[in-house]
Amino acid sequence: MIISNRDTDADLKTRKKRKFKKRYWLLLDLALAIIVLALLFYKPARYRPPDNVPVSNNQDQLSPYLTNVLLPQLYNGAQRDEPFDLDIDQKGINETIARYQWPRESNGVILSAPTVFFVPENIVLMGTANIKGAELVVTVVGKPILDEQGLLNLQVEKVKIGAMNITPVARLMAKRMYTQRLATIPVDTGNLRAKIAASLLNDEPFEPILNINDIFDDVDKNVRVEKITIVQKKLTIRLVPVS
């Protein structure tokens, strides 16, 4: 059998094309992997992990901002028996959060103290999750919404790991976690903490009524959240007395 030079040249060209395609797809896969890793390990410029509070201070004593500013606002306002504003400062709330026991471990993931940012209409939460030595910055953007019936929903607008948006996946996982928790652990769904969890994880609005007696033994009052205003570095909650 005689093989012509034309056939040989054609075979060589075919093999070269195949090699080129393989290299092309390998390079493309590598580029995509690099992009994904860059997105995952991206650290927002405004994020600064909070300084560690000495262990002796954690939970042994309350935050000065909480005891000297926030709680007195609530106590004095509830005593007046008329509408009042509760002003929450970004710096103060972050100092309060940092005093809890950090870092914390959950299912093999080590979580650092989160940082809160108040931006117009939204609350942004940023924290570091350490997964087998890899540190990823997780960002959650939430928006408190009061509907026409006065029900409050703490709506999660966005969830990101680094610069990668995982909001749809995070919502599905949150709903699954919430459903499993209800099925396996007895939960008092009338408890305010349970209502907040249901709102965050399962998008369930609730009546935002706070029993002041749960915080101060000598004040038998209930207040209701009437309005929430968020501006740069400040959150204001309008509270009105209810019977």
Higher pLDDT, residue 22 or 198: 198
pLDDT at 237 over 90: yes
pLDDT in tens, 188-215: 878 888 899 899 999 999 999 999 998 9
Q: Please, which residues have CB within 8 angstroms of residue 118's CB and are 6 or more apart in sequence?
A: 88, 90, 124, 230, 231, 232, 233, 234, 235
pLDDT at 89 over 90: yes
**Minimal CA–CA distance to 223: which of 46, 75, 111, 100?**
75
User: What is the C-alpha separation between 179 and 202, in angstroms, rounded?
Assistant: 9
Strand-pair partners of 116: 125
Tokens for 166?
A: 């995982």
Q: Specify the higher pLDDT residue, 175 or 185.
A: 175
pLDDT (tens digit, 9 = 90+) per residue, 103-157?
Answer: 888 778 899 989 999 999 999 999 999 988 889 999 999 999 999 999 999 999 9
In Å, how far from its chain's centre is CA 151? 21
Distance, in Å, from the CA atom of 163 to the CA atom of 138, rounded to the nearest integer, reads 9
Two tokens, residue 170: 């995070």
